[in-house]
Amino acid sequence: MDDTFITAAKRFHALCAERKRIEAELKTVMDELDSLQEPLTSMFVDAGVSKISVDDVTLYVARESVPSMIVPEGTPAEVVRLMIVHTLAKMGHESAINYNYSSVRSLLKELADEEGNIPEPLGSLMKLDTRHKVKALGVSAASTAAD
């Protein structure tokens, strides 16, 4: 084996280890962000504000519509998923047949955003939950690297 091969293999190994470290660090950050969502959203509501600026970053509460299935007791969730896809196809969204459930949920969210609610043929199969989530504008890698 030549030196180039060994060097490339060592570099590959080092990058794999670095990726694993970064993924673990990201998970820790994401967990902490998740743990702050609910209390921070409540603080926005209690303070009566919709946005604030902190260190050149604007934090605001965004309203999200999240479609979810209504699964009658004793009915397998997969049956409801198939009924939703079938109903979407009958509504003119034939490509929904080839979607996975996450894609179908995204399509339903889009339809709900356009119409303000779940379209009627799907009303018995889906419900629309509203969630509030704190988001940030103006966050950049350069601004966080200085901290």
112 is in which domain, residue-wise? 62-132
Identify whether residues 23 and 69 lie together within a single domain. no
User: What's the farthest any 2 CA atoms get from each other in the chain?
Assistant: 67
Sign of the alpha-carbon dihedral angle for 123, 82, 94, 112 = positive
Report the alpha-carbon distance of residue 47 to residue 144 in Å, rounded: 26
pLDDT of residue 75: 83
Identify whether residues 79 and 105 lie together within a single domain. yes
Query: Is residue 142 scored above 60 in pLDDT?
Result: no
As for how many domains the chain has, the answer is 2
The H or E element that residue 128 is part of is strand 126-137
Answer yes or no: is 145 within a domain. Answer: no
Q: Which of 47-56, 60-69, 105-114 has the highest mean pLDDT?
A: 47-56
- Mean pLDDT, the chain, as a whole number? 84
Identify whether residues 18 and 74 lie together within a single domain. no
Q: What's the average model confidence in pLDDT over 37-41?
A: 94
| Rounded percentage of the chain residues whose pLDDT exceeds 90 | 39
Alpha helices in the chain (DSSP H): 3-47, 77-90, 101-115, 141-145
Identify whether residues 45 and 74 lie together within a single domain. no
Q: What's the average model confidence in pLDDT over 25-37?
A: 96
Identify whether residues 82 and 109 lie together within a single domain. yes
Query: Is residue 33 scored above 70 in pLDDT?
Result: yes
Q: Residue 119 is which amino acid?
A: P
The one-character DSSP state at 73 is T
Q: Which tens digits make up the pLDDT trace of 70-107?
A: 888 888 888 888 888 788 777 787 776 676 777 777 77
Lowest mean pLDDT among 2-11, 23-32, 33-42, 90-99: 90-99
pLDDT of residue 83: 83
Token pair for 63:
């309203």
Query: What is the band of 23 on the pLDDT scale with cuts at 50, 70, 90?
Result: very high
